[in-house]
Structure 1
């Protein structure tokens, strides 16, 4: 477990990557869990995920929890690698099941091809991979825990 939490507490790149990823994913999780930012909240999201999307209850629950708590973990730098991995797997599932056929671009304004493409997800995956490799970096709870382990 110590290796998962270990990080270079001077790594600003890891700090930027985890904050960017956490800040971008948090509103998605808050929509799903709390109904913030125009979302449907827990019940509405679970109804969609288990009904229209066809996911099992446990997978739907994991989607909501990963997007909300995973984002908070990244913002605070707690269990950064675990949170980044969970977000990576979560959004890989989203891409494979929903967005893969939409092409590269977001396509919001194209009548021919409605739906989100892959560009957002490529950026998300890149940030998640940086956090997976580097850990929480500067100003992270992981760094404080790792430093405390070294002192003891």
Structure 2
């Protein structure tokens, strides 16, 4: 367990990566769980994920919980690797199920119904891998728990 939380408390790169990742993912989770930022909230999201998307209810629930709570853990730098692993698994599933064949670009001006490309996910995976490798870094609870020294 201690190795899971180990991090260099002076690592500013880890701090930047986990905060950027948290700021990017949290609004998606807040849409799904709370209905913030124009989202459908828990009931609407579960209905979509289990209906139109065809996911089992447990997978839909995990998507919502990971996208909401993992960014909160990242902001704190608490169980950083576990939070990053949850995000990585969640978004690998999203890419494989909906975006893999959509090309590279976001396609914001493409015809209706076309999925987003892979460029956003490549950046997301890069930040996630930094958090997985480096841990929480500077200003993280992980560093405090381990009493690490730079």
Asked whether 1:37 is paired with 2:12, we answer no
SS in structure 2 opposite 1:52?
coil
What residue ranges of structure 1 are gaps of 5+ in the alignment? none
CA distance in 2, matches of 1:146, 1:34: 34
Cα displacement (A) at 1:108: 1.0
- The TM-score, its normalising length taken from structure 1, stands at 0.95
- Corresponding residue of 1:80: 80
- Corresponding residue of 2:128: 128
- The TM-score, its normalising length taken from structure 2, stands at 0.96
Kindly indicate whether the alpha-carbon contact (under 8 Å) linking 1:9 and 1:140 is maintained by their aligned counterparts in 2.
Answer: yes
Root mean square deviation of aligned Cα: 1.4
Kindly indicate whether the alpha-carbon contact (under 8 Å) linking 1:7 and 1:142 is maintained by their aligned counterparts in 2.
Answer: yes
- Corresponding residue of 1:141: 141
CA 1:113–1:57 in 2, change beyond 3 Å: closer, same or farther? closer
Cα displacement (A) at 1:112: 8.7
CA-to-aligned-CA distance 1:34-86 (integer Å, 9 cap, x gap)? 00000000000000000000001110000000000001111111100000011
State the 4+ residue runs in structure 1 displaced beyond 3 angstroms. none
Task: Say how many residue pairs are matched.
Answer: 149
SS in structure 1 opposite 2:36?
coil
Asked whether 1:64 is paired with 2:60, we answer no
CA distance in 1, matches of 2:15, 2:111: 39
Cα displacement (A) at 1:133: 0.3
- Corresponding residue of 1:18: 18
